[in-house]
A and B are shown apart, each in its own frame.
Chain A
Amino acid sequence: MASVQISDVRKSFGGFEVLHGVSIPIEDGAFVVLVGPSGCGKSTLLRMLAGLENITSGTIAIGDRVVNNVQPKERDIAMVFQNYALYPHMTVAQNMGFSLKLRNAQAGDISTRVKKAAEILDLTPLLDRYPRQLSGGQRQRVAMGRAIVRDPQVFLFDEPLSNLDAKLRVAMRTEIKELHQRLKTTTVYVTHDQIEAMTMADKIVVMHDGIVEQIGSPLELYDQPENQFVAGFIGSPAMNFLNGHLKVNGGQPYVETENGSRLPIHAAPATSDGRPVVYGVRPEHLDLASDGIEAEVAVVEPTGSETQIVARIGSQELIAVFRDRHQVAPGDKIHLRPRAEVAHLFDKDTGRRL
């Protein structure tokens, strides 16, 4: 096990820079998830950590050792690929033992370690099968088995669950997290799925267009998003954003929207009357009330445990989620009241949290 320090790392392909100075500290034994939309550079960063891509500038250190010029095989890391990259001509046992075989380990030692890893992952009855004979979830586990057999300093996961169906994905999510709690090996996990990030990570790194938007624990990102991008990316359904202007009336601050609704806020930042802002409120932080924002119901989506309502205020759409079963139908006029204490304010121009 080891810590990982990513310091001001940049990456260019030809003249095109895709990572613009990324710094991420990763503590020993942490489970860190890099999350962001496709093209944000998260996979490139992981591949640089693995040694599959060169580092244009900046440094990556594993433990106390800067690994910029260290060969992949000497970095002591193991990677699980999106398509698993299992060797099709080797059995499960051979796949798992391949790295040990290349290191000239004793046959007995290889077989002991493969068996131990197979037990952890429930693969013992499958050891003589070929990858073609396995289901998607089993292949996924073999790919993880290949990684844990080596007992590396750091595990790298590159979108490992995106080829699985929804149900299996949830099950494997739990399995990977359990595995980490058991082995406590430093793990860097790349995904575009914010639910995966929220449920698995000790620490989430939100990336966007080659920069780090925010680093924090799942609940920090949910409660205190530093900017509008993170606020909109974390949480499902996504946070509602309403444009408006900051107003103060008798010491009580509020946001006035374009159509004249008054949105409550807990505390105004600096007194800046009339400043254009973006008001953010999560769907689960809207209540049905007798007063508040007037909206027209467009779609009602019951999921059983909760009900999602898409409502329109003028041209803007607002999503609200209720755990109680309210009787509403499309076309109804309703009033939605945001909870002031959990509402978010962002600067209209920079998108930064106020």
Chain B
Amino acid sequence: MTTMQTSMPAQAVYKDTRSLWERLRTNRNWLALWFMLPTAAFLILFLAYPLGLGVWMSFTDERIGRTGIFIGLENYEWLWSDSIFWLSVFNTLLYTIIASAIKFAVGLYLALLLNRHMPFKAIIRAIVLVPFIVPTVLSAIAFWWIYDAQFSIVSWSLIKLGLIDHNINFLGDPNMARASVIFANIWRGVPFVAITLLAGLQTVSPSLYEAATLDGATDWQRFRYITYPLLTPIIAVVMTFSVLFTFTDFQLVWALTRGGPVNATHLMATLSYQRGILSGRLGEGAAIATAMIPFLLAAIAISWFGMQRRKWQQGSDND
């Protein structure tokens, strides 16, 4: 660059005599700003504004039908000493951790199975996706019947097999209800994890496995040293999404238990809805919802800093 400049004759310096408007009209950055505006408008209107409004509301005593006034952290102070709120935090963490861990394990196992050569591969892959494409409320209603206190097909089958002698109280017993909603969430979430990891597996070049075979790797060593490390960037993305979806889950639990029995399955999302909409205390509901944000940010941060950026992915491709 410097040699370029020194070799340029001084009188060649170009003076821009165009008007301001003329210059703006041909400025690429100015043009780019205009192209970005429509998208920015949508994001501000539908994402930033509701989020900001929700956070603001959590600092007021707004109720349905009555504008609130600013009350500072009063809603949060109230929640701090509310045992039901803390129960919902515990439930949400339990629900997220157990469901995500099992979804990951089962999803990875399914992906590895589906990555093999087998007959009817395309159809089997399509079938795996079914729980994901069925509307959540529909599958929740199906589970509701499966878990029904009197007509449960599971209870009926086990009784007919002679394994138990009375119906299982799936949604009536606190721990049983927790296990039941977690199971339904896993059933619904596994396809997403499995299909995304399968897509990741297919990007791994088969010659790497052949090279590893010749290097003397067993099946387990090929998974441990080739498949797993090459899959970590995708695992990070998939599990971040999975954790976020699970943490903010509402539909499934609301349709199955509405937080019962005795708040045993109340998640932060369902509690927020119950307090904010059903009881009409919008401020308090907003505070519960806002309390979820730090957890979500923490999940994203762990994934971003801990797993996504790998040293071996950086640097240029010199092919």
List residues of chain A with CB under 8 Å of any chain B CB. 50-52, 72-73, 77-79, 81, 83, 85, 87-90, 98-99, 102-103, 130-136, 146, 150, 163
Contact = CB atoms under 8 A, between A and B. Distances in A.
B224 to A, nearest CB: 10
Nearest to B207: A85
Which 4 residue pairs are nearest across A and B when measured between Cβ atoms?
A: A73-B216, A99-B215, A85-B211, A85-B207
A77 B214 contact: yes
B205 A134 contact: no
A81 B210 contact: yes
Contacts of B211: 79, 81, 85, 87, 146
Contact of B229 (A83, A89, A99, A146): A89
A135 B317 CA distance: 8
B229 A72 contact: no
Contacts of A133: 315-316, 318
A135 B318 contact: yes
Contacts of B208: 85, 87
A12 B216 CA distance: 26
Select the residue from B207, B212, B216 with max chain A CB neighbours within 10 A.
Answer: B216
B150 interface: no
Contacts of A85: 205, 207-208, 210-211
Contacts of B214: 50-52, 72-73, 77-79, 99
B210 A52 contact: yes
B315 A130 contact: yes
Interface of B: 205, 207-208, 210-217, 221, 225-226, 229-230, 310-319
B313 A132 contact: yes
A88 B230 contact: yes
A69 B241 CA distance: 46
B228 to A, nearest CB: 10
A123 B234 CA distance: 32
B312 A98 contact: no
Nearest to B314: A132
Contacts, number: 74
Contacts of B230: 88-89
A130 B229 CA distance: 14
Given A83-B205, A83-B207, A102 B217 contact: yes
Contact of A81 (B207, B216, B221, B225): B207
15 contacts: A52-B213, A79-B211, A83-B205, A85-B207, A85-B211, A87-B211, A87-B226, A89-B230, A89-B310, A102-B216, A102-B221, A103-B216, A132-B316, A136-B318, A146-B215
A167 to B, nearest CB: 15
Contacts of A79: 210-211, 214
Nearest to A74: B216
Contacts of B319: 136, 163
Contacts of B217: 73, 102
Contact of B318 (A72, A90, A102, A134): A134
A73 B215 contact: yes
A132 B213 contact: no
A164 to B, nearest CB: 10
A217 B210 CA distance: 31
A105 B212 CA distance: 16
Contacts of B212: 87, 98
A165 to B, nearest CB: 11
Contacts of B205: 83, 85
A77 B314 CA distance: 32
Contacts of A87: 208, 211-212, 225-226
Contact of A72 (B207, B213, B311, B314): B213
B315 A98 contact: no
Nearest to B318: A135
Nearest to B319: A136
B227 to A, nearest CB: 11
A103 B216 CA distance: 8
B1 to A, nearest CB: 26
Contacts of A135: 318
A146 B210 CA distance: 14
B213 to A, nearest CB: 5
Given A88-B230, A98-B225, 13 more contacts: A52-B214, A79-B210, A79-B211, A85-B208, A85-B210, A85-B211, A87-B225, A88-B312, A89-B312, A131-B312, A133-B318, A135-B318, A163-B319
A187 B177 CA distance: 66
Contact of A73 (B213, B310, B315, B318): B213
Select the residue from A72, A87, A146 with max chain B CB neighbours within 10 A.
Answer: A87
Nearest to A163: B319
